[in-house]
Amino acid sequence: MAESKKNTYNSETKFFGLTIYTPQEIFISCNVKSVTIPSILGTFQVLVNHAPILTAISSGVVNIVDEKGETITLFVENGIVEVKNNQVTFSIASVEKIEDIKITDLEQLVNEANLALNQTDLKEATRINMNKKINLMKQKIKAVQNIHQQEQ
């Protein structure tokens, strides 16, 4: 007689593991109650005992609710996320805490990059890369502004 597989669902479990990797470091590794993820198909939330999924993520805001119920808000840049066996693992290009992002610094960088784009001797590949960086900085600015509006 074949042995039946045990269900790994545990209604007692309240937390799951979260790890965020960048090329430079393990940014965070802890237990959490929930995490909201900006995937390329739209934002979704992971809770304990979530079904397995592997998906590409977009640059955007990740909201984490930790064991104490406190929210950690991050801005992540492109990558992948895997949800499996009550573990969420991000492999992403970069991550910053929203509270550490300075809008004035980003606005200055956007202005400088726009001025540099006006140079006529730039190669097309350079223009494309600069436009990608400008768009990413604008996304960060918008994310920070949205968070500040929600806090008011």
Region at 105 (left for phi over 0; alpha for psi -120 to 50; beta for the rest): alpha
- Return the domain boundaries, the chain: 16-99, 101-151
Structure tokens at 72: 């950690």
Cβ partners under 8 Å of residue 98, min gap 6: 61, 73, 74, 75, 143, 144, 147
pLDDT tens column, 45-72: 999 999 999 999 999 999 999 999 999 9
pLDDT of res. 56:
97
CATH number for 16-99 (one of 1.10.510.10, 2.60.15.10, 1.10.3720.10, 3.30.1490.20): it is: 2.60.15.10
Percentage above 70 pLDDT, the chain: 92
**β-strands 87-97, 16-21 pairing:** parallel
pLDDT band of 6, cuts 50, 70, 90 = very low
pLDDT band of 8, cuts 50, 70, 90 = very low
The neighbour count for residue 95, using CB atoms within 10 Å, is: 19
Give the predicted TM-score (pTM) of the model: 0.81
Contact, 31 vs 48, CB < 8 A?
A: no
Angle at 11 between CA 29 and CA 88, to 5 degrees: 25
pLDDT of res. 116:
87
pLDDT tens column, 95-106: 999 999 999 999
Alpha-carbon distance of 121 to 43, in angstroms, equals: 40
Alpha-carbon distance of 132 to 129, in angstroms, equals: 5
Residue whose pair of structure tokens reads 């045990």 in the numeric block: 6
Task: Return the DSSP state at 119.
Answer: -
More confident residue, 93 or 120: 93
pLDDT of res. 150:
81
pLDDT of res. 17:
97
pLDDT band of 13, cuts 50, 70, 90 = confident
